[in-house]
A and B are shown apart, each in its own frame.
Chain A
Amino acid sequence: MTASPPDVPIALEATALTRKYGGVTVVRDVDLALPAGSKTALLGSNGAGKTTLLKMLSRLLTPTSGSFRIDGHPGPSPEAARAVGVLGHSPMLYEDFTPLENLRFFARIYDVADADARIEEILRQVGLWLRRHEPTAIFSRGYHQRLALARALIHDPAVLLADEPETGLDPEGVALLDEIALARPALTVLAATHRIDHIGAWASGIVRLERGRLVEDTSSVGLATEGTPA
């Protein structure tokens, strides 16, 4: 594992994170220390343990052993949950709600201050403000993913965990994803992706898993050479 620059706080730290299903170890002793503002691509072939690692960090799975901290808070705490946004394969939206209703609900459970203004801001950013009263069910896959991005960022998290976030997005959607999430200076990103050609556009480092083991970690290198993010 690469050492992070001493003056940059660690936004996401994992220590010996392990997950077993029955007798099979899917993620084994993974150590991570992602500096605040770093953008890290999580690489690995199918079955390498990327999704399981992201699910543990987003609290959907309890680690068999090991621990993690998000923005200085212990992984299982509500404070850690408030510091994380999650963008997954599925958009995780209420299909019978409008974009406005979806975001109002998530803003409420994340205790977002001045929620109406924040909802308007994020819906304008993802280009859905004019469609805010339409049912989510009629949206295309790309629009679903845009709204999912708004849901993941509504509470202005310190860390974004993303599992193949480009899936279903057209080039315009990918550019939007880069602009408002992956390239956001203060946001720490850990994103599993198979689009190695696109990593150069946003990632400052990579983490590679093979059969559940961490085999490569340059998550701190980009920041060490590029300096602390704004």
Chain B
Amino acid sequence: MTSLTAVVAKDLRLAWRNRAAWLSAMAFSTIAVLTYSFAFDLATGDVRPLLPGVLWTTFLFAGVFAAGQSFQEEVDDGTFDALLFSPVGATTIFLGKLTANLIALLIIECSQLVLATILFDVGLLTPELLGIVVIGTVGYVSLTTLLATMGGHVRGRSVLLPVLSLPLLVPLLIGAVRATGASLGLEAGTAPWMLLLLVFAIWSTLAAVLLFPIAAEQ
């Protein structure tokens, strides 16, 4: 547990010190939400059917863009090797990085939910929707963190991550968009889509925990 908190604290401190990638993700998502708000006619139309797509494309691209950066710096500086030969197990390294990425990304996502609530005049800060965002984010951050590890030593890795991750994330996107729509009252009941999201999040986290030691070896 001490090792896990040490790795999380280190990753969060590094993310803060070298915050260009996360600030870029924040700027990108803010511009995306702002642009969508200009595009929709808020006075006459119901924007709720569009909001799930707006939110999840914004979250997903911000996450894919930023999640790989923290891992890449570790590989380039050789510190990832220093973690691998330390007594900290590969699973702890993965869980630490996953937690740090998750915290950073949830901060961005919550800020965008606040912004979208103001711009679209729709109540988005409900416990149900926050739960959907957290579960969905766990699902895609664990997968993108694993894929970033696998591509860490490969040329063209910045292109590889979105190309590999986006097809794998299709089930999560479907579940997240439909669950968000249901929580906004667009269809009856969030339960089936929440279940899909939950199963995906558990599957991707377990698969990533099991595969990370193999992916981490040079």
Contact = CB atoms under 8 A, between A and B. Distances in A.
Given A60-B218, A90-B77, A96 B17 contact: yes
A92 B81 contact: yes
B77 A92 contact: yes
A190 to B, nearest CB: 14
A98 to B, nearest CB: 10
B168 interface: no
Given A62-B217, A92-B77, A96-B18, A81 B7 contact: no
Contact of A58 (B18, B85, B89): B85
A108 B13 CA distance: 15
B87 interface: yes
A109 B84 CA distance: 11
Given A92-B77, A93-B77, A59 B14 contact: no
Majority secondary structure of chain A interface residues (helix, strand, loop or mixed): loop
Nearest to B84: A60
Interface string B81-110: 111111111000000000000000000000
B6 interface: yes
A88 interface: yes
Contact of A109 (B3, B13, B78, B218): B3
B218 A78 contact: no
A65 B10 CA distance: 35
B44 interface: no
A138 interface: no
Interface string B55-96: 000000000000000000000011101111111110000000
B217 A78 contact: no
A110 B86 contact: yes
A167 to B, nearest CB: 13
Interface centre among A97, A101, A108 (most CB of B within 10 A): A108
Interface residues on A, range: 20 to 34
Contacts of B6: 105, 108-109
- Which of B7, B14, B86, B217 counts the most A-chain CB atoms under 10 A from its CB? B86
Contacts, number: 68
B77 A94 contact: yes
Contacts of B77: 90, 92-95
Contacts of A94: 10, 14, 77, 79
B86 A61 contact: no
A61 B14 contact: no
Contact of A81 (B10, B78, B86): B86
Interface string A63-87: 0000000000000001101101010
B35 interface: no
B2 A93 contact: no
B14 A55 contact: no
A86 B86 CA distance: 9
A151 interface: yes
A97 to B, nearest CB: 8
Contacts of A97: 13-14, 17
Nearest to A135: B17
A229 to B, nearest CB: 25
Given A78-B89, A81-B85, A81-B87, A109 B7 contact: yes
A91 interface: yes
B2 A88 contact: no
6 contacts: A60-B218, A84-B85, A88-B78, A91-B78, A93-B78, A109-B86
